[in-house]
Amino acid sequence: MKNYLKTFIHCCLIAAILIFSGMTHAQAWPNKPIRWIVPFPPGGPADLTARQIAPLLSERLGQPILIDNRPGGNSNIGFEAGARAPNDGYTMLFVVAGFVTNPHLYKLTWDPLKDFVPVVQLNQLQIMLLASSRFAPNNLNDVVSAIKAKPGQVKCAWGGSILLGLACETMKLEGKLDVTVVPYKGSAPAMNDLIGGHVDLMIEVMNTAVGQIKSGNVKPIAVLNTSKGRAPFAELPTLNEVLPGFEMLPWQGIVMPAGTPKPIVDKLNQEVTAVLQSAVMKQRYQESGLDFYPMSSEQFGQLMAKDYVKYGKIIKAANIKVD
């Protein structure tokens, strides 16, 4: 009985020390600059988002946030750098939905769900289904009818981003809409062919498509998010109105190496959330077509895990390969 009591007291003391140690670490954190790995080149949309957030977050934390661009390998170079970083709370990694799709396409040394801890979702991008101005249907119901009337003949452009390509494949597999998916090496050549009528449909990020819509070169058909789009497309239907259950939510977020103390993760989640709810960032997101929905680190982790499974199934079913 005495041995059992000693063991119990010993375990309680160890637990208390660990908890106190974590709290102390979080209270002292940060006491030096924080590196933020961005797996994209300078000047791109992700880099711009990080550079908008960094000075505001730095002001709240009292330490510099140093952007470390690590582009290449479809972001895998940057993701790998994040996986190898120490878990002391001084390395953040900027992630996008490709973070959970790449493991299904490449042989990697890291696992997005095991080697990292989710911190916070930064935003969700609004994406749209567009039609060429030369494609007869002008609304979602007519587009669906045209696809069903001519199985395999309506072409949907895949403009380079894996997630936008998966959206086309999801329409095909889950929505039973037999479109022919046409891959391109980038958004620009895909958009050019959509304008020229060489393809009929394309899925694109809303703020990228606005200019061509206003010029009359392409037609907005629907938004792929589960909620209605923002002005001037607030009246567009959502794709899940005709394809129940359809959901495609491109997101950006922050993760840290696995083992980063939870008090630090929670504090960073709180501080980033405060930055994103500021008037400055609300205005910037409004201009960029980005939405922010506050999430705990656990909720962001659940979203990552769900998308990992979902997109993995689509990639396998569509037999998507990378060169």
Cβ atoms 110, 73 nearer than 8 A: no
Residue 149 and residue 119 share a domain: no
pLDDT band for position 27 (50/70/90)?
Answer: low
Residue 307 lies in a domain: yes
- Which residues, other chains included, contact 180 with Cβ-Cβ below 8 Å and sequence gap of 6+? 152, 153, 154, 155, 156
Looking at the fold, whether 63 and 36 belong to one and the same domain comes out as yes
List, for residues 260-302, the tens digit of each pLDDT value: 999 999 999 999 999 999 999 999 998 888 889 999 999 999 9
pLDDT per residue over 89-147, tens digit each?
999 999 999 999 999 999 999 999 999 999 999 999 888 999 999 999 999 999 999 99
Taking residues 224-251, report their average pLDDT.
80
Give the three-class secondary structure for 319: coil
Answer whether residue 264 is part of any domain: yes
Regarding whether 133 and 170 lie in a shared domain, the answer is yes
Same domain? 140 vs 195:
yes
- Asked if residue 179 is part of any domain, the answer here is yes
Which pLDDT value is given to residue 106? 94
Where do we find the tokens 């005709």? 242
pLDDT at 16 over 50: no
If one compares 25 and 50, the residue with the highest pLDDT of the two is 50
Same-domain check for residues 272 and 211? no
Distance (Å, whole) CA 204 – CA 224: 10
Contacts of 193 by beta carbon, 8 Å cutoff, 6+ apart: 157, 182, 184, 199
**Report for 81-85, 182-186, 206-210, 247-251: range of highest mean pLDDT:** 81-85
The DSSP secondary-structure symbol of 130 reads E
Rounded distance between C-alpha atoms, residue 114 and residue 198, angstroms: 43
- Lowest model confidence (mean pLDDT) among 154-168, 183-197, 210-224, 268-282: 154-168
Question: Phi then psi for 121, rounded to 5 degrees?
Answer: -85, 130
Q: What integer best gives the mean pLDDT of the chain? A: 89
What's the mean pLDDT in 210-222?
A: 92
pLDDT at 186: 83
Q: Indicate the burial class of 51 (C-beta count within 10 angstroms; 0-12, 13-18, 19 or more).
A: middle
> Residue 71 — pLDDT band, cuts 50, 70, 90?
very high
Q: Is the pLDDT of residue 75 over 90?
A: yes
CA separation (Å) from 279 to 16, 116, 274? 40, 31, 10
* Residue 219 shares a structural domain with residue 142: yes
Those residues with Cβ within 8 angstroms of residue 276's Cβ, 6 or more apart along the chain or in another chain: 53, 122, 123, 282, 285, 292, 294
pLDDT at 1 over 80: no
The number of folded domains in the chain is: 2
> What is the arithmetic mean of pLDDT over 171-188?
87
Residue 164: closest CA among 214, 108, 96: 96
Give the residue carrying structure tokens 């694109």.
204
Confidence of residue 203 (pLDDT cuts 50, 70, 90): very high
- Residue 89: give its domain's CATH number: 3.40.190.150
Residue found by looking up tokens 């006491």 in the block: 31
Q: Is the same domain home to 116 and 256?
A: yes
Find out whether 83 and 110 touch, Cβ atoms under 8 Å: yes
Answer whether residue 151 is part of any domain: yes
Same domain for 43 and 180?
A: no
Instruction: Please state whether beta strands 251-257 and 116-125 pair in parallel, antiparallel, or not at all (unpaired).
Output: antiparallel
- The verdict on 151 and 119 lying in the same domain is no
Among 185, 206, 224, where does a domain finish?
224
End-of-domain residue from the set 224, 242, 264:
224
CATH number for the domain that contains residue 154:
3.40.190.10
Phi, psi for 34 (deg, rounded to 5): -110, 130
Whole-number Å distance between alpha carbons of 70 and 76:
9
The answer to the question of residue 265 being in a domain is yes
Q: Find the domain containing 152 and state its range.
A: 127-224
Res. 19: pLDDT tops 70: no
Establish if 236 belongs to a structural domain: no
Q: What is the pTM of this model?
A: 0.85
Contact between 305 and 160 (Cβ < 8 Å): no
Interacting residues of 7 by C-beta distance below 8 A, sequence separation 6+: none
Q: What is the pLDDT of residue 276?
A: 98
Any domain includes 233: no
Pair 118, 261 in one domain: yes
Give the whole-angstrom CA distance, residue 208 versus residue 212: 8
Q: Does any domain span residue 238? A: no
Same domain membership, residue 218 and residue 157: yes
Do 118 and 257 fall into the same domain? Answer: yes
